[in-house]
Amino acid sequence: MHMADALVAPAVAGTMYVLSTAAAGVSVKEVRKQASPEKIPVMGVMGAFVFATQMLNFTIPGTGSSGHLCGGMMLSALLGPYAGFLTMIGVLLVQCLLFADGGLLALGCNIWNMAFYGCFIGALLIWKPIMKKGASRVKIALASILGCVLTLQLGAFSVTLETLASGVTELPFSVFLATMQPIHLAIGFVEGLITTAVLIFVYEARPELLWGVGETSEKKEGKLSLKNTVIAVAVAAAVCGGVVSLFASAFPDGLEWSMEQVAGTSELEAEGGAYDTAAGIQETTSLLPDYAFKDSESAVGTSFSGITGSLVVVLVTVGACYLFKFFKKNEAD
């Protein structure tokens, strides 16, 4: 789901930076208002924790493949939307710097697509209303799954919009959307299940750690064991997700899968293969006019001589750099 710098045009990146900065501004203000310096190390350590848990593989029952935790929903259920959002910004920045997951220019987009939806929508619109009158296993499961699915859907939708608005792809909107959404539906379910399991554990061990749970906490409705809850939720998820969750979970990352899926089915043998398939899907599912964002056949075309000229420039630079290094070394010796 992390967007790369190559996929965003400066205007899109700038817009998303402005939006994310605004959300960050609100969050900083809110966190400062609470004025509890205690929260700062918790944010830092929990950020590192979420970052580390993203590397774990979780076996998805009955499929033999594995799912991952992204952690936005989990973080906001523990820290609240504002502190959670700021923590996610930290996680996304460190991720992009250390492991090149995402990019510096696309950071604004990534913060919006993952942190904003996960923390603000997930915590304020889903978690908080559900937990208003106290928490229970069922409510935690409901909020976690609903939260993860919905926020991932919104995130995937934004990725599609941002990429198209950047004008880097010729892929029709509907085809792009039709690949992104179902995959992230499945990813969202799995993430929701893992989040449920973790938050239920926290609820049983240290319920005071959960954010936004009403004062008038109901007595535990604990007839269901953890195992039963997980199974019940898993069945519900399988039914709702239908076929999608079955085929999508076999791949570690939905994006990778969608790539193979589209490319694989159309075989790419006939030149028109993919186009016809895509156009067919598009005709039936079109929501927006296709090529809406395609630029109007700009005059800036590449020519063969242009490429040759550029290559010469680059080669000369490379040579000059080696010379520079050579002399620098001799100087040092």
Site for other proteins in 33-62 (CB under 8 A): 35, 37-38, 40-49, 51-53, 55-61
Binding piece for other proteins, criterion CB under 8 A, among 112-120, 143-151, 216-224, 306-314: 306-314
Helices (H), 54-122: 72-79, 81-99, 107-110
Q: Judge whether 199 and 193 are in contact, CB under 8 Å.
A: no
* CA 53/CA 68 separation, integer angstroms: 8
Neighbours of 245 (CB within 10 A): 23
Q: Per rule CB under 8 A, is residue 101 in the interface with other proteins? A: yes
26 near other proteins, rule: CB under 8 A: no
Candidate residues 135, 156, 177, 230; the one interacting with other proteins per rule CB under 8 A: 230
Size of the site for other proteins (CB under 8 A): 120
**Sole residue written with tokens 């992204």:** 70
Q: At its nearest, how many Å lie between other proteins and the CB of residue 278?
A: 7
105 binds other proteins (CB under 8 A): yes
Q: Is 98 in the site for other proteins (CB under 8 A)?
A: yes
Q: How far is the CB of 219 from other proteins (least distance, A)?
A: 19
Closer residue to other proteins (CB): 58 or 157: 58
Contact 180, 244 (CB under 8 A): no
Rama region for 2: left / alpha / beta (φ>0; ψ in -120 to 50; rest): beta
Q: Does 121 bind other proteins (CB under 8 A)?
A: no
What percentage of the chain's residues is helix, strand, coil (to nearest 5)? 70, 0, 30
Residue 182 found at the interface with other proteins (CB under 8 A): no
- Beta carbon of residue 242, minimum distance to other proteins (angstroms, whole number): 20
Tokens, residue 197: 């399991």
- CB distance 170 to 186 below 8 Å: no
| 216 lies in the binding site for other proteins (CB under 8 A) | no
Based on DSSP, count helices (H) and strands (E) in the chain, helices before strands: 13, 2
Choices 100-108, 122-130, 147-155, 239-247 (CB under 8 A): range interacting with other proteins: 100-108
Among 215, 269, 271, 331, interactor with other proteins by CB under 8 A: 271
User: Least Å distance between CB 23 and other proteins?
Assistant: 12
183 is a site residue for other proteins (CB under 8 A) = no
Rounded Cα gap, residues 203 and 291, in angstroms: 49
Q: Is 208 in the site for other proteins (CB under 8 A)?
A: no
CB 106 within 8 Å of CB 156: no
Binding of other proteins by 220 (CB under 8 A): no
- Judged by CB under 8 A, the chain residues 123 through 142 that form the site for other proteins are none
Q: How many CB atoms lie within 10 A of CB 259?
A: 13
Q: How far is it between the farthest Cα atoms of the chain?
A: 78
In three-state secondary structure terms, 59 is strand
Q: Which of 32, 214, 242, 327 binds other proteins (CB under 8 A)?
A: 32
Q: Applying CB under 8 A, does 225 fall inside the site for other proteins?
A: no
Q: Is 197 in the site for other proteins (CB under 8 A)?
A: yes
Pick one of 73, 131, 200, 213: the residue that binds other proteins (CB under 8 A): 200
H or E stretch at 67: strand 66-67
